[in-house]
Amino acid sequence: MLKGFQSLGVNVKTIEENQMKTGDEIIVTTKMKWKELSAANPALIIPGPSDTSTALTTDVEVNGDDPLLKHVDFEKVFVEKAGSIGLKELDTAAQSGSVPLIQKGEMNGAKMVVLNLHLTDTDFPLHPGFPIFLHNAYQYLSEDGGFIGYFQPGEERTVPLATGDWDIYSGDDEFIKKSDQGDWFKAPLTPGVYQAVQGDVTKYFSVVLDDREKKPGGEAFSLEPTEDKGEEERKTIPHNLSSWFLVLAILILFIEWEVYRRGNRV
């Protein structure tokens, strides 16, 4: 789960319950741990190790076109067992019979997403829709903090920020730079989650790599020979030409010998 968020460029860190405070970023925790927290933060709730499981006997059903499950194809996911988190205060996005599997909504003034299944009891992580679900959940939960979007490194575009200076911080609260918000906003070069702060207003955004940049490229090459290889290439060219001249000479000798041999027959 945490590695899935890291693949989206999200800065993931582990903290103790007593270190949590309102205003921190999204938390991923269990229902029992969430109840013990005093801070009202956006949260993704997953079953704890001691949660009882319910064997499922009916197919997975998805309710309408919920943005949380957009492009996820969750109805194709196999779920053997479900947890016991079900919260009546939340809306159910997917269920099996009467058992809720994915829920979302607000509690204590903060947004929440519930994934009511152990990842060991489903093939969901193996589906291409799993990282899409994490992306949708992160975007939904980030709206509480004023999420302004995803950027590629160094990308420039217009964003819904008030004019004036904004201080840009990393996910670790390290000051990065001061941004003068005019017509264009320029993202940092390093992937990760960032905060744009102006007075008491905080906005969040993520810098992620393009899919093509995540794949290792082929070996670079240059048409212009380097100094180290230049001498070698200059020697190779005459050698190749001499080989062709040798082949041509042998061919001419063969033709002349054939003409001479036929002449002797006559």
Average pLDDT of span 236-258: 61
What is d(CA 261, CA 266) in angstroms, rounded to the nearest whole number?
A: 9
Count the neighbouring beta carbons within 10 Å of the beta carbon of residue 11. 15
- Pick the more confident residue, 38 or 160: 160
pLDDT at 232: 47
Mean pLDDT taken over the chain = 76
For 30, residues 6+ apart whose C-beta sits below 8 A from its C-beta are 45, 46, 47, 48, 51
Question: Do the strands 147-151 and 201-207 form a parallel or antiparallel pair, or are they unpaired?
Answer: parallel
Percent of the chain clearing pLDDT 70 (strictly above): 64
Residue with token string 């941004």? 179
What is d(CA 118, CA 203) in angstroms, rounded to the nearest whole number?
A: 32
Q: Are the beta carbons of 137 and 102 closer than 8 angstroms?
A: no
Among the listed ranges 91-100, 122-131, 227-236, which one has the minimum average pLDDT value? 227-236
pLDDT at 3: 73
Count the neighbouring beta carbons within 10 Å of the beta carbon of residue 106. 14
Ramachandran class of 146: left when φ > 0, alpha when ψ lies in -120 to 50, beta otherwise: left
pLDDT at 188: 92
Q: How far is CA 22 from CA 42, 126, 144, 168, 229, in A?
A: 10, 34, 12, 20, 61
pLDDT tens for 13-50 read 666 665 565 555 678 887 777 676 655 678 888 887 76
pLDDT at 225: 43
In 3-state terms, what secondary structure has residue 25?
Answer: coil
Domains of the chain from N-terminus onward: 1-145 (3.40.50.880), 146-217 (2.60.40.10)
pLDDT higher than 60, residue 91: yes
pLDDT tens for 177-187 read 988 766 678 89
In 3-state terms, what secondary structure has residue 131?
Answer: helix
pLDDT at 16: 63
pLDDT higher than 70, residue 160: no
